[in-house]
Amino acid sequence: MKKFPWIFLCWIGLASCEKDIDIDLNEREVSLVVDASIENNRPPVVFLSKSLAYFSEINPEILAGSQVRNAEVYVSDGSRRHRLREDSLVNLDGSRIYFYTNDPANPSTAIIGQLKGKYDLEILYDGGTYTASTTIPEITRRVDSIWWEKVEAADDSNDVKIIVRATDKPGFGNYIRYWTKTNEEPFFPGLNSVFDDQVIDGTTYTFPVDRGFNKNLSLEDADPFFNRGDTVTLKVADIDRATYDFWRTLEFTYQSVGNPFSNPVKVLGNVSGGALGYFGGYAAQYHSILIPPR
């Protein structure tokens, strides 16, 4: 009984040591945001936008207004330099998305991604010059087979998981990213979509593939399983270290939002000139599977 007052006083002492911390969130100048990629056998695609303040309101009109138009965008492969043309497509919600890609009016200089190719990006916009470089590596992660299995412990007996057997080429430093497309959905990357070969270097291994996730939704909506009757296409792409670092840090930041115990992480982009974002190359392969209905 005599120990109780001391314990009580210790709690009072700890409480009295609390200190209010004020963090001054300075307004950052608007930056150019670059989402650029090139894939084997496909043209480069570049999306440009302007950054938004951390506490700014987000709605379709503001997002549409943040798109950058009328920029000069060039991609070169060491022998050709091609000015990309501004183009657009209609999003699922009816809004228009603008991007830059090959100009069909100048086919002689058009760039198409090739395995083991190196590419340079240059953007001229609002008096600034922004550059980045990337490579499309060789395909080092070979998908040997793909199949589905019933999820025995699932509440919904309709749930299945996709299993892949793959072989990694010997030699450390191979990186991949993956996406899945289910039926008529777009390709969505996994919650953790990038991997290195530190553990599986030079081996043949088997692993489950989580269903890709639309990151515009809440994390609570993430579902790793597929359903009976689905047609699933798996996209796997070898990437270089800079592309791996960008997506690794971005995905960690995305999943850490709202977690007071997570460590702050800087997203590692590769675009110079003060821009945010990345230019990445993808050595892609596609594999489809039809999961029969029950």
Does 120 share its domain with 147?
no
**Which one of 136, 161, 177 terminates a domain?**
136
Whether the predicted pLDDT of 55 surpasses 70: no
Does 163 share its domain with 286?
yes
DSSP 137: -
Q: For tokens 């509440």, name the residue.
A: 155
User: How many domains does the chain contain in total?
Assistant: 2
Residue 72 lies in a domain: yes
Tell me what pLDDT residue 82 has.
98
For the chain, give the mean pLDDT. 89
CATH code for the domain of 211: 2.60.40
161 close to 153: Cβ distance less than 8 angstroms: no
Does 111 share its domain with 204?
no
Closest CA to 99 of 122, 120, 69, 143: 69
Who has greater pLDDT, 211 or 158?
Answer: 211
Residue 227 lies in a domain: yes
The region of weakest confidence among 35-49, 61-75, 166-180, 276-290 is 61-75
Residue 57 lies in a domain: yes
Residue 154 lies in a domain: yes
**Which one of 136, 154, 179 terminates a domain?**
136
Does 196 share its domain with 64?
no
Does 148 share its domain with 260?
yes
DSSP 134: E
Q: What is the pTM of this model?
A: 0.86
Does 67 share its domain with 169?
no
Does 125 share its domain with 204?
no
Question: From CA 174, how far away is CA 141, in angstroms rounded?
Answer: 8
Who has greater pLDDT, 216 or 56?
Answer: 216
Residue 274 lies in a domain: no
Residue 27 lies in a domain: no
User: pLDDT per residue over 36-54, tens digit each?
Assistant: 999 999 999 999 999 987 6
178 close to 233: Cβ distance less than 8 angstroms: no
Whether the predicted pLDDT of 234 surpasses 70: yes
Does 239 share its domain with 169?
yes
Cα 245 versus chain centre, distance = 10
User: pLDDT per residue over 7-27, tens digit each?
Assistant: 444 444 444 455 555 555 556
Does 217 share its domain with 255?
yes
Does 165 share its domain with 286?
yes
Who has greater pLDDT, 75 or 10?
Answer: 75
**What does 267-293 look like in DSSP terms, one character per residue?**
------TT-EEEEEEEEEEEEEEE---
Residue 60 lies in a domain: yes
For residue 204, give its domain range: 141-266+282-290
DSSP 15: H
Percentage of the residues of the chain whose pLDDT score is greater than 70: 86
Residue 275 lies in a domain: no
**Which one of 111, 136, 161 terminates a domain?**
136
Who has greater pLDDT, 77 or 18?
Answer: 77
Does 146 share its domain with 132?
no
* The two structure tokens encoding residue 26: 């300075």
Does 173 share its domain with 257?
yes
